[in-house]
Amino acid sequence: MFSADRKRVETALENCNLPSGRNDSIPQEDFTPEVYNMFLSNICPRTELDHIFSDVGAKSRPYLNVEQMTEFINNKQRDPRLNEILYPPLKPEQVQVLVDKYEPNASLAQKGESFFPLKI
Protein backbone atom coordinates (compact mmCIF):
# COMPACT_ATOMS: atom_id res chain seq x y z
CA MET A 1 0.00 0.00 0.00
CA PHE A 2 1.30 3.45 -0.87
CA SER A 3 1.97 5.83 1.99
CA ALA A 4 -0.72 8.27 0.83
CA ASP A 5 -3.28 5.45 0.75
CA ARG A 6 -2.20 4.24 4.17
CA LYS A 7 -2.56 7.75 5.58
CA ARG A 8 -6.04 8.10 4.03
CA VAL A 9 -7.17 4.81 5.59
CA GLU A 10 -5.69 5.72 8.98
CA THR A 11 -7.37 9.12 8.90
CA ALA A 12 -10.72 7.57 7.93
CA LEU A 13 -10.44 5.06 10.78
CA GLU A 14 -9.57 7.82 13.26
CA ASN A 15 -12.53 9.92 12.07
CA CYS A 16 -14.80 6.95 12.80
CA ASN A 17 -13.24 6.41 16.26
CA LEU A 18 -11.92 3.02 15.18
CA PRO A 19 -8.49 1.57 16.01
CA SER A 20 -6.03 2.66 13.36
CA GLY A 21 -2.74 1.04 14.38
CA ARG A 22 -0.85 -1.33 12.15
CA ASN A 23 -1.68 -4.45 14.19
CA ASP A 24 -5.04 -3.28 15.56
CA SER A 25 -8.27 -5.04 14.77
CA ILE A 26 -11.84 -3.77 14.82
CA PRO A 27 -14.28 -5.63 17.07
CA GLN A 28 -17.15 -6.88 14.94
CA GLU A 29 -19.81 -5.39 17.24
CA ASP A 30 -18.23 -1.92 16.82
CA PHE A 31 -18.36 -2.07 13.01
CA THR A 32 -22.05 -1.29 12.56
CA PRO A 33 -23.62 -0.27 9.22
CA GLU A 34 -23.59 3.36 10.36
CA VAL A 35 -19.87 3.19 11.14
CA TYR A 36 -19.27 1.48 7.80
CA ASN A 37 -21.12 4.26 5.94
CA MET A 38 -19.17 6.91 7.83
CA PHE A 39 -15.89 5.11 7.04
CA LEU A 40 -16.85 4.77 3.39
CA SER A 41 -17.75 8.45 3.08
CA ASN A 42 -14.41 9.38 4.72
CA ILE A 43 -12.31 7.16 2.51
CA CYS A 44 -14.20 7.78 -0.75
CA PRO A 45 -15.70 11.28 -0.69
CA ARG A 46 -18.43 11.71 -3.27
CA THR A 47 -18.60 15.46 -3.80
CA GLU A 48 -20.54 15.01 -7.04
CA LEU A 49 -23.50 13.83 -4.96
CA ASP A 50 -23.57 17.19 -3.21
CA HIS A 51 -23.75 18.85 -6.62
CA ILE A 52 -26.60 16.58 -7.70
CA PHE A 53 -28.58 17.38 -4.55
CA SER A 54 -28.03 21.13 -4.95
CA ASP A 55 -28.86 21.04 -8.69
CA VAL A 56 -32.07 19.10 -8.14
CA GLY A 57 -33.18 21.31 -5.27
CA ALA A 58 -32.56 19.27 -2.10
CA LYS A 59 -30.06 21.73 -0.66
CA SER A 60 -31.22 21.62 2.94
CA ARG A 61 -32.41 18.00 3.09
CA PRO A 62 -30.42 14.78 2.64
CA TYR A 63 -33.17 13.21 0.54
CA LEU A 64 -35.07 13.68 -2.70
CA ASN A 65 -38.82 13.44 -3.09
CA VAL A 66 -40.43 11.56 -5.97
CA GLU A 67 -40.89 14.66 -8.12
CA GLN A 68 -37.24 15.68 -7.72
CA MET A 69 -36.04 12.16 -8.40
CA THR A 70 -38.29 11.87 -11.48
CA GLU A 71 -36.89 15.12 -12.82
CA PHE A 72 -33.32 13.97 -12.13
CA ILE A 73 -33.78 10.59 -13.81
CA ASN A 74 -35.59 11.98 -16.86
CA ASN A 75 -33.49 15.11 -17.40
CA LYS A 76 -30.00 14.22 -16.15
CA GLN A 77 -29.67 10.43 -16.31
CA ARG A 78 -31.73 9.67 -19.40
CA ASP A 79 -29.87 9.28 -22.66
CA PRO A 80 -31.30 11.97 -24.98
CA ARG A 81 -30.76 9.70 -28.00
CA LEU A 82 -33.46 7.29 -26.79
CA ASN A 83 -36.67 7.19 -28.77
CA GLU A 84 -39.39 8.65 -26.53
CA ILE A 85 -42.05 6.38 -28.00
CA LEU A 86 -40.13 3.15 -27.48
CA TYR A 87 -38.51 4.29 -24.22
CA PRO A 88 -40.78 6.89 -22.63
CA PRO A 89 -39.54 8.96 -19.70
CA LEU A 90 -40.36 7.56 -16.29
CA LYS A 91 -43.57 8.59 -14.59
CA PRO A 92 -43.70 9.45 -10.87
CA GLU A 93 -45.47 6.13 -10.20
CA GLN A 94 -42.55 4.22 -11.72
CA VAL A 95 -40.07 6.23 -9.67
CA GLN A 96 -42.10 5.46 -6.54
CA VAL A 97 -41.69 1.74 -7.33
CA LEU A 98 -37.90 2.28 -7.48
CA VAL A 99 -37.97 4.13 -4.15
CA ASP A 100 -40.04 1.34 -2.58
CA LYS A 101 -37.63 -1.26 -3.90
CA TYR A 102 -34.29 0.36 -3.04
CA GLU A 103 -34.94 2.71 -0.11
CA PRO A 104 -33.97 0.88 3.10
CA ASN A 105 -35.88 3.32 5.32
CA ALA A 106 -39.53 2.24 5.02
CA SER A 107 -40.92 5.46 6.52
CA LEU A 108 -39.13 7.58 3.90
CA ALA A 109 -40.27 5.24 1.14
CA GLN A 110 -43.91 5.56 2.23
CA LYS A 111 -43.63 9.36 2.10
CA GLY A 112 -42.13 9.11 -1.40
CA GLU A 113 -38.71 10.27 -0.32
CA SER A 114 -35.39 8.61 -0.84
CA PHE A 115 -32.30 9.07 1.28
CA PHE A 116 -29.06 8.38 -0.51
CA PRO A 117 -26.69 6.48 1.80
CA LEU A 118 -23.69 7.73 -0.11
CA LYS A 119 -24.66 11.26 0.89
CA ILE A 120 -24.05 10.59 4.61
pLDDT tens for the chain, 120 residues: list them: 677 888 888 888 888 888 888 888 888 888 888 888 888 888 887 777 767 777 776 666 667 788 888 988 998 889 989 999 999 999 999 998 888 888 777 777 777 766 554 343
**Number of H helices and number of E strands within the chain?**
6, 2
Q: For residues 31 and 65, give the distance between their C-alpha atoms in angstroms, rounded to a whole number.
A: 30
Domain range summary for the chain, segments of one domain joined by +: 3-43, 59-119
Q: What's the pLDDT at 6?
A: 84
Q: For residues 77 and 85, give the distance between their C-alpha atoms in angstroms, rounded to a whole number.
A: 18
The structure's pTM equals: 0.58
The answer to whether the Cα torsion of 94, 96, 97, 99 is positive or negative is positive
Q: Are 71 and 56 in contact (CB under 8 A)?
A: yes
CATH placement of domain 59-119: 1.10.238.10
Q: What's the pLDDT at 74?
A: 92
Q: What's the pLDDT at 88?
A: 94
